[in-house]
Structure formats: C-alpha cells, structure tokens
C-alpha cells in the first residue's frame, strides 16, 4: 500500500479516481448516480450523487478496512496524537456509545458527571452498567453546571473502587474544562479507564493555547465531533483510542451498532477535513479564538449581556476555558437565552447554536468572518433596546441534581404507565426529557420526578425550548415505572 502523509486524503483520492472511471453501476444505492432521482441530483449536484456509492474493493469497507479507509484512519490517529482512530458515520453519539460498550457490561459501575449528553446514558440502557454520578458545581449567576472537581472524582473512586471507568465531558457546551490530566492519573492509579466526550473539542488538537486534549492527557478513549468545529459533514465523527485499548476489539464493538452501508460523502469529508486541520488548523483556530475574544469584548460593551470567558477559571471546577466559545448570559436584560435565540432567527435572520433559560451560544469556527460577528453584536444591541424588561421571577437554573432510584436499563425496560406531568411527582421516570440542543437530560430513566423538575420542564416549554425525549410528542405526559405493592 502507498505510504501516505498528512498532505494526502486517501478516501477522497480513491473516490476521484473512481469517478473518472465511469463504472456502470449494478449495485446499490438505487438512485444509480442520481439518474433514478433527478430531484435529488438537482438538490445535491451531479458531483455529489456520483460519489454516493457503496463499499467496493477499490474504496475499502468501513467495517473491516484494509486499504484507503485504513490509511485515512492511520492519518487521523497521527494528526490527533492517538494510537488508533476510527472513522464514525453515526455521529459522536455512536462514538460515545462505542466507548461505553467497549468498557462496560451489565452491572459494572461507571463514574460520570450528570450533565452529560444523552448518548452516554443511552449506552447504559443498552449495556446495563450502573452510573455513579458526580454532581457538578453550578455557577449560580449564570445558572450553568461546571466541570468535574478532582476532589469529587477522587471521592467517587474511593467510594466505588470496583468502578471500571470514569467518563468526562470536556469541554462542556459552554466551554468549561475539567482538570483532565489529574483525573486520568487518579483513575488509572485505581485500574479504571478514562473515556472523554470531546464532542466540542476538535480544535483543541490544533491550537497553541487551548486546553489539554484527551489524548495528550493520557485518556483511553475520546469521541471527537469533527463536524462541529472541524469542518466535516454533519454526522461524521472520530473515535480516538489510546495505546492500552485493543483496537480490534473496539472495532468489533463499533460494528455492533454502526451501519454496514457507510456514506462515502461522510467518510471523504472526514478525510478532507483531517487534512485541512493537519495542514492549516493551528492558524485557522488561532483566528477563531481571536474572533471570539473580539465578540466577547463588543457584546460586554453593550451592557446587560455577559459574554463570559477565562475569567471564570478557578483551576478546580473550571480548570480551563475554551477560548473559541461565545456563550452569552442574557437574563439581566429580562430575556431567557431561548427567547433571544428565537428573536435573532425570526427577526434578524441569525441562527445561533442554542439558547437555554439563561444563556445563548453562538458557535464560532473556521468558517466565520468578522462581518458576521459584527452583525450579531449589532442585533444583540438592538434586541436589548427593543425588548429589555425586568427579570423578576425568571428561572435560571440549568442543572438540577437527580435522585437515582434504578439503573437506566432497569427503568427503561420496566413495566410502565403514562401520567400527566403534573401528577408524576414522586414517581420514577422511565424515559428521557431534555432540551435539544444541548441534549443534556433534565430527567433520565431511573430518576425520581420532583416538583422542582416538573416546574423546570413546564417553564422551559413556556419559554419555547425545544423539548425532546418523551414518548408523548406534546410533552404533556411522562412514562413512569409502574408501582408494585410495597414500592417499585
């Protein structure tokens, strides 16, 4: 096989060679290079549908790569400082679940913060592992949960010496980072693996002054959303693996749930994006950090808003801060973050990443320019002038510590009944409830439904948050575990 270097893109190059060959297709997909679905060709373009192909010998196979996909994964591992890398076409959700399934089986304990993405709790529903939650500190002014304190992680390890892994989300959606190196050392000293949800940290691997990466910190596995800040197509991701994980076994785990019909559009986008970052990432992300700092200064100059940054760092619950994150606290102008989100989209044609009850996030990356940031700043100033009001009575809390009664798997598969939300107090939830984005559950299977949680859900619905998870699409009822005589 050819010796590839970072300037190469093996999958992309193989697709280009294939496209020039004008092969007659008697295989899937059935649109046959777009001829069978002209509207699809019109939407995506001939070049795109011509390379929407199935696995074949010249293009390798994601389930068992031996040529160009294998080369692309080796280049990704080298670029990210990992022992091995896996191209993922089921999003970072698939990567997170593969990490958990590779380390945990039924009854195993895994230590994790509760402010995690639903994907890891979904993995526990599948494998039957037991979560040991470390409840994060909360910034009371901002209403956001912070990172994992080393002291709390060490206590959880001492209390649960039989745990098999520690899971860390680093950075959080808001850019908050934990002391990853110390957490890895503590976990490894007790024989536990460290799994890192690095969905929002692709750029850490290509920055001079960014927080430490999972691989540099010695973590065993990390899931990286290349499509978020790395520039690849939506749904494409990487799973990075350290030297002490068996790559063949990890591949088997991935193949339990990942498609056997991998999209070459996604695969080639990962390949091209890795090359772009390896060659130009440091310069590009330095500009992103500079643009974010400019935006923070301009937004804070408006007054009323608070675009927070590395002043939050306390070397503990906020060990470091992602300088590219543009998170803005909005409550002091009397508007929830989700309300500012809606106004920006509906009246100013500006789409930001998400808004919650107290904050909004504008996601900056390699495709942003100063003129768009200036438009956002101008719109925020105008919104303050037009819509500012008294904030009395507004909720801000983004995290409510749960009371875990059953494992996610036990409660998800238990006999259940459906109740109106207002009548569900004291019962055990058997499904998820969350605002998406960011996809952090307000309720997860196995947790007790409290008055505070009910109030939060109703308030979030009232403010216009996009609620997902429950079987009831109107989110007026919740599935709860059926009570037995003498308790659940």
Q: Per residue in 416-442, pLDDT tens?
A: 999 999 999 999 999 999 887 788 899
pLDDT tens sequence across 357-399 = 999 999 999 999 999 999 999 999 999 999 999 998 887 766 7
Helix (H, G, I), strand (E, B) or coil at 75: helix
Please say if the pLDDT value at position 195 is more than 70.
yes
Residue 201 three-state SS = coil
Statement: 282-387 belongs to CATH 3.90.1150.10: yes
Separation of alpha carbons 185 and 219, rounded Å = 9
Domain edges within the chain: 282-387, 408-481
Q: Show the tokens assigned to 336.
A: 């929830």
- In sequence order, what are the residues at sequence separation of 6 or more whose Cβ sits closer than 8 angstroms to the Cβ of residue 207? 281, 282, 285, 286, 289
Q: Shortest CA distance to 319 belongs to which of 308, 327, 310? A: 310
Strand ranges in 42-192 using DSSP code E only, listed in sequence order: 84-88, 109-113, 130-134, 138-139, 144-145, 165-169, 176-177
Asked if residue 258 lies in contact with residue 90, where contact means CB atoms within 8 angstroms, the answer is: yes
Looking at the predicted structure, is the pLDDT value of residue 179 above 60? yes
The DSSP string of 351-383 is: --SEE-SSEEEEE--TT--HHHHHHHHHHHHHH
**Token pair belonging to 393:** 């009575």
Residue ranges of the alpha helices (H) in 81-114? 91-103
Q: What is the torsion angle, in degrees rounded to the nearest 10, for the CA atoms of residue 56, residue 59, residue 60 and residue 63?
A: -80
Which residue intervals of 171-263 are DSSP H helices? 180-189, 226-229, 247-257
CB 79 within 8 A of CB 6: yes
- Over the stretch 34-57, which tens digit does the pLDDT of each residue have? 889 999 999 999 999 999 998 888
Residue 281 has pLDDT above 80, yes or no: yes
Q: Is residue 267 a contact partner of residue 62, using CB atoms and an 8 Å limit?
A: yes
Taking the alpha carbons at both ends of the chain, their separation in whole angstroms is 59
Burial of 159: CB neighbours in 10 Å, binned 0-12, 13-18, 19+: exposed
Reply yes or no on whether the pLDDT at 462 is more than 50: yes
pLDDT, tens digit, 9 for 90 and up, residues 131-144: 999 988 999 899 89
Considering the domain 408-481, what is its CATH architecture?
Answer: Alpha-Beta Complex (3.90)
Helix (H) / strand (E) containing 21: helix 10-21
- What pTM was estimated for this model as a whole? 0.94
What is the average pLDDT value for the chain, to the nearest integer?
Answer: 94
Report residue 470's pLDDT band, with 50, 70 and 90 as the boundaries.
very high
Are 88 and 259 contacting, i.e. CB atoms less than 8 angstroms apart?
no
């Amino acid at each position: 096989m050819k010796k590839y270097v970072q300037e190469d893109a093996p999958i992309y190059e193989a697709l280009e060679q294939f496209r020039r060959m004008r092969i007659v297709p008697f295989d899937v997909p059935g649109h046959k290079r777009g001829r069978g679905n002209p509207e699809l060709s019109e939407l995506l373009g001939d070049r795109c549908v011509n390379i929407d192909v199935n696995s074949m010998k010249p293009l390798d196979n994601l389930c068992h790569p031996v040529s160009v996909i294998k080369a692309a994964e080796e280049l990704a591992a080298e670029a990210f400082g990992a022992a091995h890398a896996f191209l993922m076409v089921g999003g970072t959700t698939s990567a997170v679940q593969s990490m958990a399934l590779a380390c945990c089986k039924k009854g195993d304990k895994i230590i994790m913060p509760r402010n995690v993405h639903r994907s890891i709790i979904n993995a526990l529903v599948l494998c039957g592992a037991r979560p040991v939650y470390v409840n994060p500190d909360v910034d009371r002014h901002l209403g956001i949960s912070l990172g994992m304190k080393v002291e709390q992680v060490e206590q959880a390890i001492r209390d649960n010496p039989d745990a098999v892994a520690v899971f860390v989300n680093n950075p959080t959606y808001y850019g908050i980072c934990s002391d990853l190196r110390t957490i890895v050392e503590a976990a490894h000293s007790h024989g536990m693996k460290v799994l890192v949800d690095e969905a929002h940290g692709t750029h850490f691997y290509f920055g001079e002054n960014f927080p430490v990466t999972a691989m540099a910190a010695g973590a065993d596995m990390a899931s990286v959303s290349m499509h978020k800040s790395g520039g690849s197509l939506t749904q494409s991701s990487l799973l990075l693996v350290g030297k002490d994980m068996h790559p063949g076994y990890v591949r088997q785990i991935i193949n339990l749930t990942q498609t056997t019909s991998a999209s070459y559009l996604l695969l080639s986008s990962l390949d091209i994006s890795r090359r772009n970052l390896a060659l130009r990432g440091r310069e590009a992300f330095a500009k992103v950090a500079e643009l974010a700092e400019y935006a923070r200064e301009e937004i804070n100059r408006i007054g009323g808003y608070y675009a927070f940054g590395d002043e939050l760092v306390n070397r503990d619950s906020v060990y470091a801060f992602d300088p590219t994150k543009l998170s803005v606290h909005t409550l002091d102008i009397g508007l929830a973050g989700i309300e500012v989100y809606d106004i920006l989209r509906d009246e100013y044609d500006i789409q930001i990443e998400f808004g919650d009850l107290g904050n909004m996030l504008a996601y900056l990356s390699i495709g942003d320019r100063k003129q768009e940031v200036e438009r956002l700043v101008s719109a925020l100033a105008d919104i303050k002038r037009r819509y500012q009001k008294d904030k009395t009575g507004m909720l801000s809390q983004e995290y409510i510590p749960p009371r875990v009664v059953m494992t996610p798997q036990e409660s998800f598969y238990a006999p259940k009944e459906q109740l109106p939300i207002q009548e569900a107090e004291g019962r055990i939830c058997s499904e998820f409830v969350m605002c998406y984005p960011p996809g952090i559950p307000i309720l997860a299977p196995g947790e007790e439904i409290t008055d505070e949680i009910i109030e939060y859900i109703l308030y979030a619905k009232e403010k216009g948050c996009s609620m997902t998870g429950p079987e009831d699409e109107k989110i007026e009822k919740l599935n709860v575990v059926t009570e037995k005589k003498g308790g659940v």
